[in-house]
Structure 1
Amino acid sequence: MTAVAVGAVSAPELLDAWEAGWDRDPLRRGLALHAVALRTTAATAAAVPVGHRDRALFALRAALFGTSVDAVSRCPGCGTEVEVAFDQEELLALDEAGPETGGTVTVREDGQDFRVRMPTSADLAAVLDSGTPAPQEALVRRCVPAGEPGPTADAVAEAWAAADPLIDLRIGLACPDCGLAWEEPFDIVGFLWAELDAWGRRTLIEVHELARAYGWSEADALALSPWRRQCYLGLVGT
């Protein structure tokens, strides 16, 4: 995967991102995480192309939780639970060269070339909030220069995926029971959020236990390294 610079993120910053996305939709949760990864505001992060956003989130996940992925899917044929285990670096190997474009892509259709912007989180949010029954078409229209007829939505979607593999990242799965093989999208936003949610709940419990035992504030407890917090927690009740 093309390297993305992600600085050290503190426990208070992560808890702030968790709180910011707590009651929001998946897109806004992704923005909260993206803002932390880039050390910027959600508004600034929203203007970044979606593929670049996901690279930052993969880099943030690697820094926080490592690169191993363990999950469970369900066979669409027989309903069997299928365990999924891989390293995200293997999943992202196809992205070794990075995206072919920064902000625009050329779409050729019916002998014509069209310049189309790569979609951003702001574009996705606008389409989501509009409640349109044709979201893909609406997303394309937002990314085509105003006043131009533009290519079809299918042609644009294909060009986006060709220009940036992270636009439509999929994993190949096979059912051990019925033998069905299929591809499933890998949603880094949802997966990372689930990991952050589990971490946030554990961390608040740790802060609660340390505050009750030692009278420390949240800031005091979070200032400790995770290893030292565990050491103090192990002493509680001894």
Structure 2
Amino acid sequence: MTVVAGAAELLDAWEAGWDRTPLERGLALLAAGTGRSPGELAHLTVGQRDRALFELRAALFGASLDGVSTCPECGTDVEVSLDQEQLLDPPSSAPCRLPTSADVAAALSERDPCEALVGRCSEAGDAEKTAAAWAAADPLVDVELCLSCPDCGREWAEPFDIVSYLWSELDGWCRRTLLEVHDLAAAYGWTEPQILALSAWRRQCYLGLVRS
């Protein structure tokens, strides 16, 4: 995937995805990072989409994943830190078609989304076996982090969703960037496009002068 997202494109994706579903947000982010349309990207499998989002995230924020979970046994905060490459095992062949974002979107409009999704991708009609086949074929279909509490020793699996994680990072970045634009516009009278056209390093140099 070629990352073409600049500051303006990322702010546009953030604005476009603000009131959208997580599924739509993921496609908006990927569109900003690839230059392809969300409609085209919706036909990637979920695993292909998420691999591309991991690649985009690494280009924007680095490969390290950091967060905090809570022990379900004693309530201790447990810090999580790993390299995202640990999650990116390659996919293998599957006995049924792997679901795409378009499949998921269509299934969500049905009375039983799980049954509808299985029906779109498999002739077997067995939801449990189909889900297991998907997970076996592509680990990104259902990502779980194996965690352990340092205080009580409890072990558990924590679901991980790259879309929500990346969106949270982007939300923080966009809010900081808008604050930078505000400060520089107030100080120099520049427009938003003029400020965003500056490199991040040069913006920080000017901000240092403004805030000193």
With the shorter chain as reference, the TM-score category is over 0.9
Instruction: Tell me the CA shift for residue 193 of structure 1.
Output: 0.4
Partner of 2:28: 32
Instruction: Tell me the CA shift for residue 237 of structure 1.
Output: 5.3
Query: Residues 21 and 29 of structure 1 are in contact (CA less than 8 Å); yes or no, is this contact kept in structure 2?
Result: yes
Q: How does 1:1-238 map to 2 (within 5 A)?
A: 5-92=1-88, 95=89, 98-101=90-93, 105-106=94-95, 116-130=96-110, 132=111, 134-144=112-122, 150-236=124-210
In terms of mean alpha carbon deviation, does 28-37 or 219-228 score higher? Answer: 28-37
Instruction: Tell me the CA shift for residue 39 of structure 1.
Output: 1.6
* TM-score, with structure 1 as normaliser: 0.85
CA distance in 2, matches of 1:31, 1:237: 37
Q: Which one has the bigger helix percentage?
A: 2
Structure 1 residue runs of 5 or longer lacking an equivalent are 107-115
CA RMSD of aligned residues (A): 1.4
Moved over 4 A (4+): none
Query: Residues 5 and 34 of structure 2 are in contact (CA less than 8 Å); yes or no, is this contact kept in structure 1?
Result: no
Report SS of the residue matched to 1:117.
coil
With over 3 angstroms needed to count, the CA separation of the structure-2 counterparts of 1:73 and 1:229, relative to structure 1, is same
With over 3 angstroms needed to count, the CA separation of the structure-2 counterparts of 1:139 and 1:211, relative to structure 1, is same
CA distance in 2, matches of 1:8, 1:198: 20
Structure 2 residue runs of 5 or longer lacking an equivalent are none
Amino acid at match of 1:139: L
Report SS of the residue matched to 1:173.
strand
CA distance in 2, matches of 1:119, 1:178: 39
Deviation per CA, 1:192-217: give whole Å up to 9, x if none: 00000000000011011111110101
Report SS of the residue matched to 2:78.
strand
Instruction: Tell me the CA shift for residue 227 of structure 1.
Output: 0.7
* TM-score, with structure 2 as normaliser: 0.94
CA distance in 1, matches of 2:106, 2:172: 29
Number of residue-to-residue matches in the alignment: 212
Amino acid at match of 2:99: P
